[in-house]
Structure 1
Amino acid sequence: MTTGKWPAARPRAMAWQRRRASAARFWRRYRTHRAGVLGLATLALFVLLALAAPLLVGSGVADVTDAPGSPLERPSGELPFGADRFGRNLLGLVIWGARVSLLVGLFAAVLSVAIGTVIGVTAGHFRGWYATVVMRITDWFLVMPTLVLAIALATVMSRSLLTVVVAIGVTTWPTTARLVRAQTLAVESRPYIERARALGGGHWHIMSRHVLPHVMPLVLAQTTLIISSAILAEATLAFLGLGDPTVVSWGGLLQDAREAGAVSAGHWWYLVPPGIAIALVALAFTLCGRAVESVLNPRLGVSR
Structure 2
Amino acid sequence: MKKLNFYIPITFLALTTIIFLYGIFFYKHSPNIHTEFPLVSPSKDFLLGTDDLGIDVFSQLSSGYFYSMSIGVFTACIAGILGVFTGCIGGYFEGRVEDVVDFFISTFMSIPQLPILILIGAFFKPSVFNLVIVISLFSFAPIARVIKGNVKNIKNKPYIMLSKAYGGSDLYIIKNHILKKIYPLASISTIKVIGKAIIQESSLAFLGLADPTSKTWGLMINRCISFKGIYFTEFWKWWLLPPVILLSFTILALAMVNKSLEWKFLKGEKNEDNRNKKFAS
TM-score over 0.5 for the alignment? Answer: yes
1:35 paired to 2:2: no
1:80 offset after TM fit, Å? 4.2
Report the CA distance between 1:242 and its aligned residue. Answer: 2.2
Q: 1:129 to 1:263 in 2, by over 3 A?
A: farther
Give 1:217 deviation, angstroms: 0.2
1:187: how far off?
A: 0.6
| Residue 241 of structure 2 corresponds to residue 272 of structure 1 | yes
> 1:246, 1:107 → 2: CA distance?
20
The root-mean-square deviation of aligned C-alpha atoms, in Å, is 2.3
Fraction of identical pairs, as percent:
25
- CA–CA separation in structure 2 for the residues paired with 1:300 and 1:284: 24
Mapped contact 1:164–1:237 kept (Cα < 8 A): no
Matches for 1:59-78 after TM superposition, within 5 Å: 60-64=30-34, 67-70=35-38, 72-76=39-43, 78=45
* Residue 150 of structure 1: how far off its partner (Å): 2.5
User: 1:152 corresponds to which letter in structure 2?
Assistant: L
- Per the alignment, residue 256 of structure 2 pairs with 287
Superposed, which structure 2 residues align to 1:1-304 within 5 Å?
33-58=3-28, 60-64=30-34, 67-70=35-38, 72-76=39-43, 78-261=45-228, 267-269=235-237, 270-298=239-267
Instruction: Give the match's secondary structure for 1:115.
Output: helix
Instruction: Measure the CA separation in 2 of the matches of 1:118 and 1:156.
Output: 31
Q: For residue 245 of structure 1, report the CA deviation from its aligned partner.
A: 2.1
Displacement of 1:154: 3.4
Secondary structure at the counterpart of residue 240 of structure 2: helix
Distance 1:96 1:63, change over 3 A: same
Measured in 2, the distance between the counterparts of 1:249 and 1:32 equals: 33
Report the CA distance between 1:222 and its aligned residue: 1.4
| TM-superposition CA deviations, 1:73-99 (whole Å, max 9, x none) | 444554343321201111221122211
Distance 1:228 1:139 in 2: 22
Structure 2 residue identity aligned to 1:189:
N
Q: Quote how far apart the aligned CAs of 1:132 are.
A: 1.1
| Structure 2: segments with no counterpart, 5+ residues | 271-281
> Does the Cα contact within 8 Å between 1:176 and 1:219 map onto a contact in 2?
yes
How many angstroms apart in 2 are the aligned matches of 1:63 and 1:134?
49
Structure-2 change in CA distance of 1:145 and 1:84 (3 Å): same
Task: Give the TM-score, by structure 1 length.
Answer: 0.81
1:126 positional shift: 1.2
Cα distance change on mapping 1:219 and 1:103 into 2, 3 Å: same
Q: Given the superposition, is the C-alpha separation of residues 203 and 153 from structure 1 closer, same or farther in structure 2, using an over 3 Å criterion?
A: farther
Structure 1, unpaired ranges of 5+: 1-30
Measured after TM superposition, the shift of residue 160 of structure 1 is 1.4
Distance 1:137 1:68, change over 3 A: same
1:262: Cα distance to partner? 6.2
Over 3 Å counting, the alpha-carbon distance change for 1:54 and 1:273 in structure 2 is same
C-alpha distance after superposition, 1:27-65 (max 9, x if no partner)? xxxx9510111010011012223333333324733212x
Q: Cα–Cα, structure 1 residues 263 and 187, in superposed 2: closer, same or farther, change >3 Å? A: farther
Distance 1:229 1:122 in 2: 25
The total of aligned residue pairs comes to 268
Deviation at 1:221, TM superposition (A): 1.1
Q: Which moved more, 1:230-239 or 1:242-251?
A: 242-251
Cα distance between partner residues in 1 of 2:52 and 2:134: 29
Return the alpha-carbon distance in structure 1 between the equivalents of residues 94 and 222 of structure 2.
Answer: 46
Query: Could you tell which deviates more after superposition, 233-242 or 151-160?
Result: 151-160
- Give how far 1:153 is off: 3.3
**Structure 2 CA distance for aligned equivalents of residues 63 and 130 of structure 1:** 54
Q: Which amino acid aligns with 2:86?
A: I
